[in-house]
Amino acid sequence: MRDPLRIHRHRAFEQPLRIAPVRLLEDSPAEKGARREARHAVQSHDLRVPDAEHVERGRVVGVRRQGGEAGGAHIGRVANALADADRERLAAERDGEHRLAIGTGGVGGHRAARVLLRLRVERVTSRPLAREFAQVRRLARGAPKQLVRVAVGGEPALERRERGRRIEGGASALALRYDGGGILPARRSGERHERRRRPHDPSPAQSLHVRMILRDLIARKRDGGRLAPDEWRFVARVAADRSAPDYQLAALLMATFLRGMDEGETRALTQAMLGSGRTLVRPAGAPPWIDKHSTGGVGDKTSIVLAPWLAACGVAVPMMSGRGLGHTGGTLDKLESIPGFRTGLPLDEAMRQLDTLGCALIGQTGEIAPADRTLYALRDATATVECIPLIAASIMSKKLAEGLTGLVLDVKRGTGAFLPELERGLELARTMIDIGTDAGVAVVALVTAMDRPLGDACGNALELRECLEMLAGGGPPDTWAVTEALAIEMLRLARPALTSDGARTELRAAITNGAARERFRRIVEAQGGDPRVVDDPSRLPQAPVVAPFEAPRAGWLAAMPPRPIGHAIIALGGGRTRAEDVVDPAVGIVFHARVGERVERGQPIATVHARTATALAACRATLASVLVITETPPPAPLPWVTHRVTTAGVEALAAGA
């Protein structure tokens, strides 16, 4: 072990390739006295502060002295290297920054000085540290109720006694304190120091236990084995409370992606994620609760019309939606283009609104399936999203948490779909129907086209304007075809005795008499939005730069591929590639021509809404490269609604579908 570094109190220093104990020059008399009169320890552990072979770079960026206090240095709730080094190493690798506190305790009437030292760990290797602290972890399991003496590099470092939730610090030369959330303040004698454990901050014994179990589960799944329901519950629990390292959960997801899951495992994971959070409970005598879920696409705006439309027909719709990510748009982003509209309603408030208005348009909160939030983020980061069992479990855990009596699925197919192939879409639909049936929820799926954008508008405020047109009885025929088909299925789940024609008649009446539009106005007002947008869409955000995109030549519009169009909207600022990206609600594209139509040179086939002239030019260039115009008529695109899937099987709804 190298000699401790000597540094001046008010100077920062940088020491590459090693971390060493720090001793302050000009120690106070109280510090010297404290070391001379140090208490005896019941146990002594050598933490072996990592040297050059264990740490690539450590940097002390600040040293600060705090005032002394009489009666001993009460160090607070010290999360020290005694039994937590491995977790802190991993946190250091992720966050790159930690803090240590160095101080002395007073004995008798001595006053003790306390020095805080901030350390930046840029990278720490894993194997040596794990070996160094393995024995310490084992010895420390019983430490909380013992008087413990820790030696750092053979020198006294920390003595503590824990009584309940108070830690008494004894005389010590150096006190190591690792805490990812920052330095905890010292407490005077007799005071209590409370530290609420964070969800991702398990005790050392728990942390080791979780890692050992997950290692076995990863190995079994890697080798093609299956996990039992209680093991999936364990995975969901440690994902929800963040007590598992991300790298192990990611490894398990990759093993699952490669090896798959059987039906029993998929159901077990769904129920485990469902049970990781709160669930809504439909009151006795309440109307049926029906929701809809889409696998996503470009221009897919049907949820905003469906929710108030069904609510106006007496069906309760607890619609929990998501945000846009990748080339697909998100219902929450579109709703939030309404000034003041709140999608983050607490569940209790959403329940009250569901009771009074028959609808609440909300996002997934931390109360609903928290395990899914963790696992979904890791799936997105590790390219394991496109796994049908994981997709089905993710979707259904959230939908079952809504306490639904029925669910309609809109499964997209085509080049812009999440699962482009029809067979994979049908497999996903059947999987989710089976999960719902097992849970006592009636589920119907429609397979709809996403080989070109749905409707005219693509972009948040632009799509919301199109929804307002539909609620007033207007709107594009393709958006109407898909939205009405989904609405009929939702109404029939709520009232099984209804025929398709009967459901269509009732739904159209709710549009004609203005009930659906008025219901949306009330929902907007209840959720803090400006209800005047319903009558005056010009109150929605508007882009400052608006210009047409003209056909570069005459011919037939043969292809409008959704993915590059969605990416063009992201480039305008209307979407996100990362969850934390900020969305510009005003930008987007409105199309004026459809696949299969004849266009002439110079004819406006789209209007681009941009924030800047540069963004406008880039979007025009993208459209010029992706929109296909041919000299001969192209093959017919996919029918908008191609299949209906129920527990009875798959029904083709269009010829040649």
Provide the annotated active-site residues.
293, 372, 379, 394, 398
Name the DSSP letter for residue 328. Answer: B
List of residues 6+ apart from 260 with CB closer than 8 A: 387, 389
Q: Which amino acid is at 251?
A: A
Q: Which amino acid is at 538?
A: S
Rounded to whole angstroms, how far apart are CA atoms 263 and 620? Answer: 47
Q: Which residue has the tokens 């459209």?
A: 623
Rounded to whole angstroms, how far apart are CA atoms 147 and 133? Answer: 19
Q: How many residues does the chain have?
A: 657
- DSSP of 211-250, one letter per residue? HHHHHHHHHHHHTT----HHHHHHHHHHHHTT-S-HHHHH
Rounded to whole angstroms, how far apart are CA atoms 544 and 58? Answer: 49
Instruction: Using the CB atoms, write b or e for 601-610: b if 16+ within 10 Å.
Output: eeeebbbbbb
Nearest to 458 by CA among 618, 550, 567, 318: 567
Q: Which amino acid is at 141?
A: R
109, with CB counted inside 10 A (0-12, 13-18, 19+), is exposed
Q: What residue spans of 472-561 are helical by DSSP H?
A: 477-494, 500-512, 515-526
DSSP H or E segment with residue 24 = strand 22-24
38 near 156, Cβ under 8 Å? yes
Residue 515 three-state SS: helix
Phi, psi for 167 (deg, rounded to 5): -110, 130
Rounded to whole angstroms, how far apart are CA atoms 40 and 69? Answer: 21
Rounded to whole angstroms, how far apart are CA atoms 613 and 206? Answer: 56
How far from each other are the two terminal CA atoms of the chain, in whole angstroms? Answer: 74
Nearest to 525 by CA among 342, 344, 365, 350: 342
Strands 5-7 and 22-24: parallel
Rounded to whole angstroms, how far apart are CA atoms 73 and 147? Answer: 15
Q: What residue spans of 260-298 are helical by DSSP H?
A: 263-274
Structure tokens at 473: 């009885």
Q: Which residue has the tokens 């399991």?
A: 141
Give all strands of the β-sheet with 55-70 in edge-to-edge order.
13-16, 55-70, 111-124, 98-103
Rounded to whole angstroms, how far apart are CA atoms 408 and 232? Answer: 27
337 near 521, Cβ under 8 Å? no
575 near 562, Cβ under 8 Å? no
